[in-house]
Structures are given as C-alpha cells and as structure tokens.
Amino acid sequence: MMKNKFTLLLAGVFSLYASNTMAQKNCVIEEFSSATCNPCASMNSWLDPLFTTNNANKVGSGLVVVKYQMNFPTYPNLDASYNAHGQARASYYIAGMSSWGIPLHFTNGKWHDTATGGGTNSTMVQTEITNCKTGTPQVNITGTYKVKSLNATEDSIFITVTVTPTATLSGTYYLQVAATERFYVNNDPLKGHYTSQTDFYHVMRKMYPSASGTTVTGLTANTPQTFTFKDKITIGSVAINGFNWWDNPYDGNVVAFIEDHTPALRSAVRIMNGQVMPAQWVTGINTVSNFQNIKIMPNPSNTVAGVLFNVERSTNVNLIVTDMMGRTVYQSETVPADQNAQRILVPTTELANGLYNVTLRADDGSVLSQRLTVQH
C-alpha cells in the first residue's frame, strides 16, 4: 500500500514537471498594411482592438503579431515605416502572383485575404486565433531582448533566441526574428499619413540578420540551438527604406518564429511556432523586490520624461515625483503593470530646473526610486 502511494506521488510529480516544461503553441499573425491605405485604416479600426483584447505580444497570451508597412497605394509621400525587410517578407508570400493588394494577413503562414472573403471581420479573425493556438508545437522558442543603450555608435540591442524541438525533425527550417515597435503615432503627410489611422501597433522596424531569416538544420528532440544578434539603434528621422525607430525600442518586442517551407505557400500552415520577447534593460539596473530595470529617458528632461521599467509579477503601480524638500510635485494615476515593458510619462514643462526623486510604488509594497534632472 505504501509503495502504491509512493508510486502515485512520483507520477504526480513527473506529470507536474512535464506540464510546466511543455512547449506552448502560439499563434503568429503577420499583417501587411500601410499608412497610405484607406482600406487598411478601416480594417485596423477593429483588428487592433481585437489584438489588444487577445493580449497580443504579451508573454503567455498565445498571440504573436508583427506588422509590415507597405509602400502602396502611391501618394506623393509613401509610408515612412516601409523598408526592404518588409518588402522582402511581402515578396516571399506573393511569389508567383500577378497582383495582390493590402490589407491582408497570414495566420501561421496561411493566407487570409480580405479580397477573397477571409478575415473580413473580428469574428473570423478571432476564430483564426483560437484555432491556431491549439495543438502541440513541434518546437519551443525562448529568448531575451536586451537594450543596453540608445547610442547609434555602439551595439545597443542584444537578441538571443533558443529553438528546442519537441521531436527530432528532418528537413530545413528558417528562423525569423523581427524587432517590433509596440506603438507609435504617425499623423504627418510628409511621412505618408493619408488615412484616418494615426496610431500604429506592433510594426516591424528591422529583421535579423535579414528578412531571409536563419537556416536551421539538425533539429534533434530536446536539443536546444541558440542564435544571437546585436545591432545599433537610432531614434527619430524615420524615413522610407530606413530602419530608424519612431520611439524608444525599450517600449517594444522581438518576435521570433520558425517556418517550414515544405507545405504549400499561402494555402497551408508554414509557421510551426512563435514567441515574443519583451525588451529589458541589460546593465547597471538593480532589482528591488518586484521592480526591475527602471530607467528615465530623456534625463535631463525639459518637456516630458518617460519612466521605463519591468515588474516580475503583475501588479498595480503608481508614480510620485518629489523635489529635494520632499514635496510632491507630480503623481500619476494607478496603472496595471505586467511582465512586458512599461512606461509612465512625467510632464516636466511646469517643473523648475533642478533635481527630483521619481518613486515607483507597487501594490505589494515594492518601492524603487531614481533621480530626474529637469533642465529647460
């Protein structure tokens, strides 16, 4: 009797271990859109809220999204976010087609074109998301995305992606890695804005090492392979065929996914699994209880400062700014924070020149402070 109980206990332990290490099946949606495309703006008016409802690009949500901004239809100024990497990804999907148009999207590599009745409303796309997250993936993807600095003269971002097959696979596969901007605003006709859409989410800024991806071979069950990339970052002056960021890469993610080019292009599932890695600061930042990676940018500030941070566990956070006499000069509303990169904006226009303490407080009692310099 004792032996049976012990056997059952061990079985429970092994079962728990297996469930905790099982690869998660994530749905990867690639969308082709543009700031110059009125039908794209119409579609994104319901598609972006749907992605938000499904917690797109949040770890554990099961939904990974990357958008590529295209260069048509033609206006005097094309979408500033368009670059060769997005075009190469488009060319991969439309190979052999005489014509095609946007908006369109691919769910795990399968085409859902609005022109042919696919993915034309939120119910259809929600069904795609639900269905493509089911099943056991053939590969597990993990990794990190670390931001060291925003200095264009040195390597400032570091990406690590580890691919671990759940079974031995024969064939040739491709790892795609895209740095995406979580959110930016484009309402400038000089940068290609001609539609009702001003807010853009999950837009690819660059792919590593290129849009062709990395060839992956020799996938042996439970044997990981790790790939690393690094790059310099430039913020601002976004222009066609460039890779500059609209805003801070810390407020973004790296999307990675594995493709099998054996199934039929466009009409079958080609993406085996994907993953998202939120940005984290890499050096010189202490972890205090639940808080990680606090940084203030720009610092000094003369108009607005962004307080950037991560938390290990989801919680509510508020921010207090005090002067050197301990008087509160600004306090934010309470905001929910999770393991993704977080940002709280502090207006500094009305603050006098000088030093201030910026303090983050979490519901669990965690407190972390850093100095802010205001300089007009």
Q: Do residues 287 and 126 lie in contact, with contact meaning Cβ atoms separated by under 8 Å?
A: no
For domain 291-374, which architecture applies?
A: Sandwich (2.60)
pLDDT category at 326 given cuts 50, 70, 90 is confident
Model pLDDT, residue 12: 40
Half-sphere exposure of 237 (CA within 13 A, CB side): 3
Among 136-150, 166-180, 190-204, 265-279, the range scoring the smallest mean pLDDT is 136-150
Model pLDDT, residue 338: 81
Does 83 score more than 80 pLDDT? Answer: yes
- In order of 19, 88, 348, the CA distances from 233 in angstroms are 39, 21, 26
More confident residue, 211 or 76: 211
Residues in the chain: 376
Does 49 score more than 60 pLDDT? Answer: yes
Model pLDDT, residue 151: 67
Nearest to 280 by CA among 301, 259, 310, 303: 310
Among 68-72, 118-122, 234-238, 294-298, the range scoring the smallest mean pLDDT is 118-122
Over residues 118-144, mean pLDDT: 89
Q: What is the Cα–Cα distance from 114 to 259, expressed in whole angstroms?
A: 23
Question: Quick one: DSSP state of residue 88?
Answer: H
pLDDT category at 277 given cuts 50, 70, 90 is very high
Model pLDDT, residue 218: 87
Over residues 196-207, mean pLDDT: 96
Half-sphere exposure of 213 (CA within 13 A, CB side): 20
- Report DSSP letters for 193-237, one per residue: --SS--EEEEEEEEEES-TT-EEE--B-TT--EEEEEEE---BS-
* Strand boundaries in the chain, DSSP class E: 27-33, 63-69, 104-107, 110-113, 139-147, 157-165, 173-185, 199-208, 214-216, 225-231, 252-260, 271-281, 291-297, 304-311, 315-323, 328-331, 335-337, 342-347, 354-362, 367-374
Model pLDDT, residue 15: 33
Question: Which tokens belong to 234?
Answer: 């430039």
Half-sphere exposure of 319 (CA within 13 A, CB side): 26
Cβ count within 10 A of residue 283: 9
More confident residue, 291 or 189: 189
Q: In whole numbers, what is the pLDDT of the chain averaged over residues?
A: 86
At 147 the three-state DSSP class reads strand
Long-range pairs for 333-340 at CB < 8 Å and ≥24 separation? 337/309, 337/311, 337/362, 338/58, 338/311, 338/314, 339/58, 339/59, 339/278, 339/310, 339/311, 339/312, 339/313, 339/314, 340/57, 340/58, 340/59, 340/253, 340/278, 340/310
Model pLDDT, residue 119: 67
Model pLDDT, residue 75: 86
Among 2-16, 241-255, 288-302, the range scoring the smallest mean pLDDT is 2-16
Per-residue pLDDT tens over the stretch 215-247: 999 899 999 999 999 999 888 899 999 999 998
pLDDT category at 250 given cuts 50, 70, 90 is confident
Location of each CATH 2.60.40.1930 domain in the chain: 291-374
Question: Which tokens belong to 87?
Answer: 């075009």
Does 7 score more than 70 pLDDT? Answer: no
pLDDT category at 159 given cuts 50, 70, 90 is very high
Does 14 score more than 70 pLDDT? Answer: no
More confident residue, 21 or 296: 296
Does 264 score more than 50 pLDDT? Answer: yes
Among 79-93, 148-162, 240-254, the range scoring the smallest mean pLDDT is 148-162
Q: What is the Cα–Cα distance from 56 to 328, expressed in whole angstroms?
A: 36
Per-residue pLDDT tens over the stretch 286-302: 445 677 777 888 889 99
Does pTM surpass 0.85?
A: no
CA angle 327, 295, 251 (to 5 degrees): 120
Q: What is the Cα–Cα distance from 50 to 308, expressed in whole angstroms?
A: 26
The domain over range 21-281 is classified in CATH as 1.10.3720.10: no
Q: Do residues 219 and 169 lie in contact, with contact meaning Cβ atoms separated by under 8 Å?
A: yes
Location of each CATH 2.60.40.10 domain in the chain: 21-281
State the distance between the two ends of the chain, measured CA to CA, in whole angstroms: 78
Over residues 14-27, mean pLDDT: 55
pLDDT category at 327 given cuts 50, 70, 90 is confident
